[in-house]
Amino acid sequence: MKHLRHSMRIVAFFLVLMILLPVGYGGYSLIRYGTRWRTSEYNTYLSSLKNEVIPGNITDRNGVLLATTQISADADGEIVKKRLYAQDAAVRSSVVHVVGDTRGNVKNAAENFLAEYLYGANMTYPERLSQLSGSGMLRGDNVQLTVDSALCAYINSLFPQGHSGAVVVMNYKTGELLAEMSFPNYDPQFTPSVSVYQALNRATRWLSAPGSTYKIVTLTSALQNMQSAAERTFTCTGGVLFGEHQRNVMDYGAAAHGNVSLKNAFAQSCNSTFAILAAELGDKAMRKTAESFGIGDDFTFRDLVVENSAYANSQVALMGADLAWTGAGQNELAVTPLHMCMIASAVANGGVMMEPRLLLSATGVSGIERAPFEPIVYRTVMDPQTAATVREYMRSVVTNGTGRSASVNGLAICGKTGTAEIDTQNQDNAWFVGFIADDRYPYSLCIAVEEAGTGGSIAAPIAQKIFTYLSGK
């Protein structure tokens, strides 16, 4: 009998465990992935609200109307809802990957990802009763985004015609996204058919090797893991052979930089130097630094969905030319433009990486503010001293290196160019990441132009114009 009671206790324990584990996991999932659950197309409650509720307005940070709903009645007296977008055609197309459209072409844009606010899922019963007793119709919350539509329209005019790519502009102190743009774009009001190519948000979903902009990460790893790295001199002959198969890591155009300091190598974007550094650091240190910048993280941001970046396709340690090319920003690296902007922002912000934010506020018809803005620290990627050194090196890129075209008179512009070689393409991808080192203008950016040429000749001049606009110079 005693043995039977003991066995029953064990069985009961496992039965309780089997019940608690799914409940616990469900609670964890709701907390971690709550927005994704609430905005899912399988959420029947939200689907019913879309039929019953007039969606709220969407405005930019300055109150410019980006989306609203026109109400009319058909011949039978039934209410007809028509979603209208910004009056300015340039604004409509430039913010379409942030706002979205009624057909859901852009995945995880505000029209669907912030639907819980737009369709009043968080309204209290007194609010519902008050609205129904007044107009007789339920209206969702008005949503104000962090984006600046005028800035986005201006960037739209700068981006090279006929090219794909992305531009991200962020406040590196708060994480507010002033621009999150993808090219090609389209007009949500008058484009009857949208291709997958147009609908893809390249700022958040396009993963690619970022070229030499990644040398920010390799530089950080060297400064953190090598004694006197900043005092070393490197010899560049235009290329270095690595591994048993003697694969060559070449400098762009086979340029030979001669004897260079680490700072000079960074300013001139010397592949040989950063390949040597990666080989000396080893995969373990390189991977650890990449992870400190959020590469490999499962991004679950509150306001937007971002593809996870990757250091390599597997956890197998990189060696030889694979590791060397990773140090120079190539090989299997896969990073989104938004994440590269976050990396530059962390340097600008003293080593603190902020979570990117797109929702400035959500306000009910009665004036209740449901989602007041608050900056969120995502992680600390390096100590302030290391960040100051990397910032100094990025300044040298603009003052006497490959990023001189991003320079603005009267501003301390820091940056890094990148020219990413992709085997399947005829031309290289042009990258630039950078920021204004000035508390009055705490802005960082990332520009990526596919199949366009070098970062210094294509992306940096665009950055110069955006920095000038942001500062009012």
What integer is the mean pLDDT of 448-462?
Answer: 98
For residue 5, the model assigns a pLDDT of 61
How far apart are the C-alpha atoms of 85 and 154, rounded to whole Å? 18
pLDDT over threshold 60, residue 183: yes
Categorize the per-residue pLDDT at 219 as very low, low, confident or very high, splitting at 50, 70 and 90.
Answer: very high
Q: Of 239, 380, 266, give the one whose Cα is nearest residue 321.
A: 239
Q: Say if residue 18's pLDDT is above 70.
A: no
Residue 4: pLDDT band by 50, 70, 90 thresholds?
A: low
Q: Is the peptide bond before 372 cis (omega within 30 degrees of 0)?
A: no
Over residues 264-298, the pLDDT tens digits come to 999 999 999 999 999 999 999 999 999 999 999 99
Q: What type of residue sits at position 126?
A: P
**DSSP β-ladder status, 65-73 and 58-59:** antiparallel
Quick check: 204 pLDDT over 80?
Answer: yes
pLDDT value for 129: 83
- pLDDT reading at 35 higher than 80: no
Other beta carbons less than 10 A from residue 32's beta carbon: 12
The confidence band for 24, taking pLDDT boundaries of 50, 70 and 90, is very low
Span 407-424, pLDDT tens digits: 999 999 999 999 999 988
By CB neighbour count within 10 A (0-12 exposed, 13-18 middle, 19+ buried), where does 233 fall?
Answer: exposed
Please determine, for residue 301, whether its predicted confidence score (pLDDT) is greater than 50: yes
Integer Rg of the chain from CA? 25
Please state, for a pLDDT cut of 70, what percent of the chain lies above it. 89
Return the pLDDT at 73.
Answer: 79
Amino acid, single-letter form, for residue 114:
L
pLDDT of residue 76: 75
- Residue 144 CA to residue 99 CA, distance in Å, equals 11
pLDDT value of position 50: 76
Q: Does pLDDT of 37 surpass 60?
A: no
Do 117 and 144 form a contact (C-beta atoms < 8 A)? Answer: no
Residue 15 has pLDDT above 70, yes or no: no
Mean pLDDT over the full length of the chain? 91
Write down the residue that tokens 């465990």 correspond to: 17
Q: How many CA atoms lie within 13 A of 458 on its CB side?
A: 24
Select the more confidently predicted residue: 36 or 420. 420
Instruction: For residue 253, give the nearest of 270, 277, 274, 235 by alpha carbon.
Output: 270
CATH 3.40.710.10, applies to 211-357+378-471? yes
Residue 381 has pLDDT above 60, yes or no: yes
Say what the pLDDT of residue 344 is.
98
pLDDT at site 32: 43
Residue 252: partners with Cβ closer than 8 Å, 6 or more residues away: 269, 271, 419, 454
Convert the pLDDT of each residue in 106-134 to its tens digit. Answer: 999 999 999 999 999 988 888 888 887 76
Residue 46 predicted with pLDDT over 70:
no
What one-character DSSP code corresponds to residue 105? -
State the Cα–Cα distance between residues 26 and 31, nearest whole angstrom: 9
The pLDDT tens digits of the residues spanning 351-376 come to 999 999 999 999 998 899 999 999 99
Range 48-57 average pLDDT: 85
Tokens of 408: 């603005």
pLDDT tens for 147-182 read 999 999 999 999 999 999 999 999 999 999 999 999
128 vs 322 pLDDT, higher one: 322
User: How far is 433 from 363, CA to CA, in rounded Å?
Assistant: 34
- Using a 10 angstrom Cβ sphere, with 0-12 exposed, 13-18 middle and 19 or more buried, the burial of residue 232 is middle
Per-residue pLDDT of 257-270, as tens digits, reads: 999 999 999 999 99
